[in-house]
Amino acid sequence: MTLAIFGNRVNTLGQGPLLPTMVLCQPDAAKSCGACCGLYNYADSSRPALVRRLRKRTKRFWETMAAGERPEAFAERILREEDFSKRYEVIYCCEYLGFLDREEKRVGCLLHPAVHGGEDLRGISFYGRELCAGHLCPSHQHLTEKQKRILIRVLDDWYLYGLCLTDIDLVKTYFQLLSDRVGEEVRPERMEEEGLRATVQAFFSWKVSWPFRSEETGRLGKYFFDGSEYMIARIDYERLGRRTSPFHPLFLSFTSEFRSGEELDQGEAMIRANLDRFTRFYLEKKPLALERPCPY
């Protein structure tokens, strides 16, 4: 079992076997998700900005604890010093979210009992102990077990993992397109094959590197936030001289903003090439037991 050490404290979050009803927040030692804690709700939720914020915050938290001060004293300083400008005012950005390991691979609650030898400090947080302990995001319910396992197998980056895990439309649309092509629900164990794994990783990496991505601060996936209001973004296909794309849900999830019909065509070609590449790799090595029986 891999342990993350904080001074003389041992953190076992994310350890143990993956159960059928796995908790996706801390699936393993390589990554985690802090979306429910407001991680991506800051006005500047870019990777560099979040790394700076969480690194400084985590250091300050353990300095506060080492000095024998109350965690509330840490929170008072953070709320005073940090910029808490938000995309969406309704979602709270928890000041107790930080890095859980020295390697900064996992984000999570600095008050969690696994961080403090079993002592649960979450009662002082905004949401409180019961809500934090009992809440599971919609992805737990809406993603299939195979989809969950594939995400865990292919994504080992906390920033990208959280963005993709919580974008249910992105995950389900992509895997449905793949399933339609290969004739079955994609099998998680096939992700051990480098060609398939790399293809899926390349697709999900577009969540942050899509070349036709809008740079508007208020955009996150298919949503456009404006303070206390939000709406679903739209793509004006008529203006672009194109029909509604078969990849429309994916375009929205990638925060797309096409300036011309040619850019939209390029976006479709990129997605189609990814799907074709996956299909080719998947069917080339498809186990014989899965092939259709010979009718003769």
Tens-place pLDDT, residues 17-59: 333 457 899 999 999 999 999 999 999 999 999 999 999 999 9
Q: What is the pLDDT of residue 216?
A: 76
Structure confidence at residue 13 (pLDDT): 43
Mean pLDDT, rounded, for 254-258: 94
Confidence of residue 286 (pLDDT cuts 50, 70, 90): low
User: Contact, 166 vs 35, CB < 8 A?
Assistant: yes
Query: By C-alpha distance, which of 12, 5, 27 is closest to 157?
Result: 27
- Ranges 91-95, 230-234, 243-247, 287-291: which has the least confidence: 287-291
Q: In terms of domains, do 122 and 181 share one?
A: no
User: Phi-psi region for residue 163, left (φ > 0), alpha (ψ -120 to 50) or beta?
Assistant: alpha
Direct distance between the N- and C-terminal alpha carbons of the chain, in angstroms, rounded to an integer:
52
Q: What's the pLDDT score for residue 223? A: 65
Q: Is residue 147 part of a domain?
A: no
Domain range spanning residue 23? 4-139
pLDDT at 227: 65
Residue 286 lies in a domain: yes
Of 120, 139, 158, the position where a domain reaches its end is 139
User: How far is it, in rounded angstroms, from Cα 167 to Cα 188?
Assistant: 19
The answer on 106 and 41 residing in a single domain is yes
The alpha carbon torsion through 126, 65, 6, 35 (nearest 10 deg) reads 20
In terms of domains, do 101 and 59 share one?
A: yes
Helices 158-165 and 168-182 meet at what angle, rounded to 10? 80
Same domain, 173 and 129: no
Task: Indicate if 129 and 14 belong to the same structural domain.
Answer: yes
- pLDDT cut 90: percent of the chain above it: 74
Only one residue has tokens 């801390």, namely 26
Mean pLDDT in the chain? 87
Number of domains in the chain: 2
d(CA 20, CA 231): 34
The residue assigned the tokens 């934090």 is 132
Residue 65 shares a structural domain with residue 128? yes
The structure tokens listed for 20 are: 């059928």
Q: Is residue 151 part of a domain?
A: no
Across 4-8, 142-146, 236-240, least confident range: 4-8
Judgement on whether residues 191 and 235 belong to the same structural domain of the protein: yes
Closest to 102 (Cα-Cα) out of 11, 24, 230 = 11
Backbone angles phi, psi at 33, to 5 degrees: -130, 135
Residue 155 falls inside a structural domain: no
**Which pLDDT does position 120 carry in this prediction?**
92
Residues 106-129: what's their mean pLDDT? 93
Which residues does 113 contact at the CB level (< 8 Å), separation at least 6?
A: 119, 120, 121, 122
Residues 124, 109: Cα–Cα separation, whole Å: 12
What is the 8-class DSSP label of residue 107?
E
Is position 278 within any domain? yes
**Final residue in a domain of this structure, among 121, 139, 157:** 139
What was the pLDDT predicted at 90? 86
Residue 152 within a domain: no
Same domain, yes or no: 14 and 108: yes
Q: Which two tokens stand for residue 294?
A: 């010979």
The pLDDT confidence band at residue 152, using thresholds 50, 70 and 90, is very high
Assess whether 135 and 179 both reside in one domain.
Answer: no
Domain identity same for 187 and 258: yes
Distance of CA 155 to the CA centre of its chain: 9
Q: Are residues 86 and 135 in the same domain?
A: yes
State mean pLDDT over 61-89: 93
Instruction: Say yes or no to pLDDT of 290 above 60.
Output: no
* Per-residue b or e along 24-57, where b marks 16 or more CB atoms closer than 10 Å to that residue's CB: bbbbbbbbbbbbbbbbbbbeebeeeebeebbeeb
Phi-psi region at 68: left, alpha or beta (left = phi > 0; alpha = psi -120 to 50)? left
**Once rounded to an integer, what is the mean pLDDT over residues 99-128?**
94
Amino acid 215: pLDDT: 81
| Domain annotation covers residue 159 | no
Residues 181 and 119 in one domain: no
Q: Is residue 149 part of a domain?
A: no
Cα–Cα–Cα angle for 20, 23, 25, rounded to 5 degrees:
150
Q: What is the pLDDT of residue 135?
A: 84
pLDDT digit string (tens) for 159-200?
Answer: 999 999 999 999 999 999 999 999 999 999 999 999 999 999
